[in-house]
Amino acid sequence: MDRNEILRYLRTSPGTDDERLLSLVDECMEEVDRTVSPKTITRVFDCTVTGDSLCIGDTVFRSKRLAQTVHGCDRVCLLGATLGTECDRLLRTYSSIDIAKTAVLQAALASKIEEVCDSVEDRLRAEGLHLRKRYSPGYFDLDIHEQTKIFSLLDITKRIGVTLTDTMQMIPTKSVTAIIGIDDNEKN
């Protein structure tokens, strides 16, 4: 986790010299590392991309922006990641006794889930895959309801324990799904 990123999430200047705040951020980073139990799942699928859609087998994701992002890819990687249920309990615990810490923890957890996703990408890259940018349901014109398709293709609920509400919110709340294009033609 990056302290400056956490401060940015808190809309606080990274240049702050408020010792109390900085030590609270450090304390929260430690507590997050102690508490979370990240779980991830990835799966590579063959795909076809048109001008406004990405198709994996019979599943179609409709979005021009997504189609641009994975343009030219014959394969995509679907990613699911979560920090686990304890992170929500942590937030709930502190929100009854220490609201400042709750807000900082929230930012630290947001930074942590990004870190977990990044490290999955690093691993895939180390295995020789050339990856494009992560793209998630809810970005631009990819409707948030497309989330159900990723859940189904990855069997996310069973495999990493993330569930989806009727309103498309993921529980545990610190969870991410994404579609990542793979460049098979790119030479290094």
Partner 1 sequence: MKRIEFFDGGMGTMLQARGLKAGELPEALNLTDPELIYSVHKAYADAGADYITTNTFGANSLKFDNVEEIVKSAVSLAKRTGKKAALDIGPLGRLLKPMGELDFEDAYRLFSEIVTAGRDGADVILLETMTDTLEMKAAVLAAKENSGLPVFVSMMFDDSRRLLTGADILSAVTMLEGLGADAIGINCGLGPEQMYPIAAELRKATRLPMLVNPNAGLPEAVNGKTVFNIEPDEFASWMKKIAALGVSYLGGCCGTTPEHIGKLVENCSDIPSRMPDIPRRTLVSSYSKTVEIGDEPVIIGERINPTGKKLMKAALRENDINYILKEGLAQKDKGAHILDVNVGLPEIDEPVMMKKAVFSLQSVLDLPLQIDTSNPEAMEAALRIYNGKAMINSVNGKKESMEAIFPLAAKYGAVTVCLCLDDEGIPATAEGRIRIAKNIIRTAEDYGIDKSELVFDALAMTVSTGALNAVETLKAVRLLTEELGVKTVLGVSNVSFGLPKREAVNTSFFTLAMENGLSAGIINPLSEPMMNAYYAFRALNGMDENCADYISNVSEQPKAAAASVTDLKTAIVKGMTKEAAECAKLMSESTAGLEIISNYIVPALDEVGERFENKTLFLPQLLMSADSAKAAFEAIRERMITAGAEREKSGKIVLATVHGDIHDIGKNIVRVLLENYGFDVIDLGRDVPPEKVLEAVKENDAGLVGLSALMTTTVPAMEETIKLIHRETDAKVIVGGAVMTKKYARMIDADYYGGDAMETVRIAKEYYSC
Question: For residues 65 and 132, what is the distance between their CA atoms, to the nearest angstrom?
Answer: 13
Q: Contact with partner 1 (CB under 8 A): which of 38, 80, 172, 181? A: 172
Task: Give the Å distances, CA to CA, from 146 to 13, 58, 136, 169, 188.
Answer: 36, 14, 9, 12, 32
Nearer to partner 1, 43 or 187 (CB): 43
Question: For residues 76 and 133, what is the distance between their CA atoms, to the nearest angstrom?
Answer: 11
Task: Give the Å distances, CA to CA, from 83 to 109, 158, 179.
Answer: 8, 15, 19
Nearer to partner 1, 50 or 157 (CB): 157
Residue holding tokens 């900082």? Answer: 104
Is 60 near partner 1 (CB under 8 A)? no
| Interaction mask 136-165, partner 1, x per CB under 8 A | --x-----x----x--xx-x-xx--x-x-x
Residue 153's nearest CA partner among 78, 96, 103 is: 78
Residues 67-126 that bind partner 1 (CB under 8 A): 84-86, 88-89, 91-93, 95-100, 102-104, 106
Is 55 near partner 1 (CB under 8 A)? no
Question: For residues 187 and 90, what is the distance between their CA atoms, to the nearest angstrom?
Answer: 45
Nearer to partner 1, 51 or 92 (CB): 92
Nearer to partner 1, 9 or 188 (CB): 9
Residue 74's nearest CA partner among 186, 181, 188, 187 is: 181
Residue 14 preceded by cis peptide, ω within 30: no
Residues 8-37 that bind partner 1 (CB under 8 A): 10-13, 16, 18, 20-21, 24, 37
Return residues touching partner 1 (CB under 8 A): 10-13, 16, 18, 20-21, 24, 37, 39, 42-46, 56-59, 84-86, 88-89, 91-93, 95-100, 102-104, 106, 138, 144, 149, 152-153, 155, 157-158, 161, 163, 165-169, 171-173
